[in-house]
Structure 1
Amino acid sequence: MTRRTTALSAAVALAAALALTGCSSDGGKPELKVSGAFMPQPVMDMAGGFLTIKNSGDTADKLTSVTSPLSDDVQIHETKDQKMRQVKSFDIPADGELRLERGGNHIMFMALKNKPKQGDKVSVELHFEKADPIKVELPVEAATHNPQQH
């Protein structure tokens, strides 16, 4: 009887340890950092926004929305087959990054309340599924600005 009880106790302890390990890695937080943010100077009443979100955490997250005083209608768009379409979210993998860049996925500001000029800054707030919102200033660059990614 005691051998069986000891084996059962060991099995229960092992199962509990594995369950706790699973919970702690799932309970980890994404660690998000934004870099390379900019907005080309708008030429119409719409504008694009570009930036990179790096996740150095061990938990994936999603960019779910963007808000800004510049527009009441800020959307996130993916570009596939040279066509843009609005999406509900973008994945940010654990220990990975989300790049929003010219010719690819991006932020779209519709019906601008005003047209920022080169040298201005546009404030935005990025909203995520898990992480707290992040406020970012997008410097307004020349309409043709396109930094080379290395």
Structure 2
Amino acid sequence: MTRPTAVLAAGALAGALALTGCSGSGSDSGPDRAELSVSSPYMPKPVSADMAAGFLTITNEGGAGDELTSVSSDVAGEVTMHSTQGGAMAEKSSFAVPAHGRLVFESGGNHLMFEKLRRAPKQGQTVTVKLTFARSGHLTVEMPVESATYHPSTGH
């Protein structure tokens, strides 16, 4: 092969490899995967010695849904997930995280309950929370402890 032909062949090969890398097949992202992130996590300072609530938003930028199947924390003996609809609270074993959507845990709605507290989290501290998903595995979140009357929309 002559030098100009070799350069053209190498360039064509490099271009083909670059296009293959963008195809999404065999990569960690793409239309068939969830791409999860967490925002606005917080725990209001507990008002009881054995129980606390937790709130956060899970965003899925991916093309596939996932499912939050469990939550744990070293601060609590157990963490349960609850939905609230029409004033009625119900414990749930999982929550769907839709593709290109969000799962919101907020005061008055879906929420986390930290039960059998091993220690009382104090305002200004953080609590480590492990979220487990059916397809995406684990995600660890640092949840700040805010005042008992904290409201995320005002930051107070």
TM-score bin, normalised by smaller chain: 0.7 to 0.9
Letter paired with 1:42: P
Structure 2 residue runs without a partner (length 5+): 1-24
Following superposition, the deviation at residue 132 of structure 1 comes to 2.0
Following superposition, the deviation at residue 111 of structure 1 comes to 1.3
In the alignment, which residue of structure 1 is the partner of 2:15? none
Aligned to 2:110, which of 105, 113, 137?
105
Letter paired with 2:61: S
Distance 1:138 1:31 in 2: 20
In the alignment, which residue of structure 2 is the partner of 1:68? 73
1:32-59: CA deviation from partner (whole Å, max 9, x where unpaired): 0000000000010210110000000000
| Aligned ranges 1:45-64 → 2 under 5 Å | 45-64=50-69
Distance 1:50 1:123 in 2: 13
Letter paired with 1:76: M
Aligned to 1:125, which of 118, 130, 147?
130
Secondary structure, aligned partner of 2:137: coil
Aligned to 2:143, which of 138, 142, 149?
138
1:44-103: CA deviation from partner (whole Å, max 9, x where unpaired): 021011000000000000111101001121100000121211101111100000010000
Count how many residue pairs are aligned between Structure 1 and Structure 2.
126
Are 2:109 and 1:90 aligned? no
Secondary structure, aligned partner of 1:133: strand
Structure 1 pair 96–27 and aligned structure 2 pair: CA distance change class (3 A): closer
Aligned to 2:36, which of 24, 32, 35?
32
Q: Give the structure with the larger strand fraction.
A: 2
Distance 1:52 1:144 in 2: 19
Structure 1 pair 108–72 and aligned structure 2 pair: CA distance change class (3 A): same
In the alignment, which residue of structure 1 is the partner of 2:8? none
Contact persistence 2:127–2:145 (CA under 8 A): yes
Distance 1:96 1:27 in 2: 14
Distance 1:64 1:94 in 2: 16
In the alignment, which residue of structure 2 is the partner of 1:12? none
Identity of aligned residues (%): 46
Q: Given the two structures, how large is their TM-score scaled by the length of structure 2?
A: 0.77
Secondary structure, aligned partner of 2:70: strand
Distance 1:29 1:67 in 2: 24
Are 2:93 and 1:81 aligned? no
